[in-house]
Structure 1
């Protein structure tokens, strides 16, 4: 579609298809993001069809009251975070249609989302992170260990060393790692690329993993293709990384839950508490603005407050 012909009706399904193509080809959305958008829009479509008494060729007739009633339905049925995401999907969808001249105005633009509590990101302490990575190293170095043990160690050493998103981690190719310059080229949201430093320990783990991978799957060339592989030689998925981490935490004796995103939080928190400036962390994380990165400052400010209380002569706790 190159624009809306006023003599023709705009079908909901055609509009969604065009939107998803835009997200994938122009904004570099991941498969998981595309599934989430498609699911939210399918739910809105079902709501519209229910109100119009049919589920055939549904015309898209943007109406702020439809969105308002849908928001009320969400308020009654799902949690705040899901409400916020689904309304955000509608705003993006209608904004896309408006910018392409297929509708006039954004019927979701004036519908406020729920106020969300800003939660403290889950993360591991430095000691716990080291304990997990050491457990992975010992299992990988054990005589007779499988190549997947070396892969798992390299996987989480890389994740903690770079702080990349799990979607960015599994999208890495072997050619994206510069062992000489100690950098990783990461393709982030919106197909934006950034260079992220990677430490010696992670690079050693990667080298050992690649050596084991070549021995296990001689036909695989990780330099030209996916860096992290599954047992069949295909690219590891984000879902598999979550499952692997769950198993490794259990093997290492941790009762706490930690997601791959929690390792990313740990990376940022540990850097901040060690004196790294917020702008540098923003660049490494690939955040578009500082507001997202500032979620980590709660830990830093807690530490600053403790130092102040202990050292300042006029603090209440000072001597």
Structure 2
């Protein structure tokens, strides 16, 4: 079994059968490349790898002080690779199958309360074209729980405002429909009709919703900078990013009693386990209320 051929076939499998994004595919291949480098150094052929060899590899990697999260992700990538080899090359066992990943302390994401969100949006100067665009961006990030990549790639042809839905392309090129509220619809229409329609539009970006002042697609970095500047403007000490609005969207829905499966669908999470992190936020919030107001606390 040849490393180059196996990696080439694995890449094709991830693209065609798993439908993963280019970034995800690159991450998987990087995991395999690390193992290949180790096996080349130890003169271990691909078809001779056993569980104890992978355990030695993980110990070797650990010496570089790689975080438990990175080690867990690396192991997950290798399990997928060897599972593929079982299917494609009929190897008898998956040497990574029974190796346990390091325990992870799941980090609860930072969220904004509604007063902080209102303050950020209220700090936008609506007298400028960029200001109206930026307000629309924040209304969509918070109102629909979009990833920043989904926001900057949003298409006019995927806006169904008459039925109050938008269609976005998420991870792995998977499309999903998300309900959009009246507030976001209001500012989206103002931006499209009164700002975007009057500005320059470069060829190739006619269907993209959010454009920069030169008429090209707005970049992810620009959205980060917009939010950082607003946080500085209102003196917000929390470290926030576009993803903070997505976390806040989910957290506020769960706090309000929304069904977890519905939140999972809106966020585009493959596993309900990922969405369940927001129940921890809700419990932390309730605990803080008890601590603050209960006489026995």
Report the TM-score range of the alignment, normalised by the length of the smaller protein: 0.7 to 0.9
**Distance in 2 separating the partners of 1:36 and 1:151:** 34
TM-score (norm 1): 0.79
> Which residues of structure 1 form unaligned runs of 5+?
1-9
Q: Which residue of 2 aligns with 1:41?
A: 32
For structure 1, which segment, 125-134 or 165-174, has the greater mean C-alpha deviation from structure 2 after superposition? Answer: 165-174
* 1:172 shift after superposition: 2.3
Identify the residue that residue 128 of structure 1 maps to in structure 2.
116
Q: Partner of 2:276: helix, strand, or coil?
A: helix
Question: What SS is found at the alignment partner of 1:52?
Answer: coil
Report the Cα distance in structure 2 between the residues aligned to 1:235 and 1:180, rounded to whole angstroms.
25
Aligned-residue CA RMSD in angstroms?
3.0
Normalising by the residue count of structure 2, what TM-score does the alignment of the two structures yield?
0.84
Shift in CA distance, 52/306, structure 1 to aligned 2, threshold 3 Å: closer
For the Cα contact (< 8 Å) 1:67–1:108, is it kept in 2? yes
Alpha-carbon shift at residue 254 of structure 1 (Å): 2.2
Alignment equivalent of 2:198, drawn from 199, 215, 230:
215
Q: Are 1:16 and 2:11 matched, yes or no? A: no
> Is 1:182 aligned with 2:167?
no
Q: Which of 169, 180, 186 is 1:204 aligned to?
A: 186
Residues 214, 221 of structure 1: 8 Å contact kept: no
Aligned CA distance change for structure 1 residues 149 and 307 (closer, same or farther; 3 Å): closer
Alignment match of 2:135 (pick from 129, 136, 153): 153
State whether residues 199 and 213 of structure 2, in contact with CA within 8 Å, keep that contact through their aligned partners in structure 1: no
CA distance in 2, matches of 1:237, 1:15: 35
Aligned counterparts, 1:1-319, within 5 A: 10-52=1-43, 61-77=48-64, 78-101=66-89, 103-136=91-124, 139=125, 141-142=126-127, 145=128, 147-211=129-193, 212-220=195-203, 225-230=207-212, 233-304=215-286, 317=296
* Residue-pair matches, total: 295
Aligned counterparts of 2:102 and 2:60: Cα–Cα separation in 1: 13
Helix, strand or coil for the counterpart of 1:267?
helix
* Contact 2:201/2:214 (<8 A) preserved: no
**Structure 2 stretches lacking a partner, 5+ long:** none
| Distance 1:177-1:302 versus aligned 2 partners, 3 A rule | same
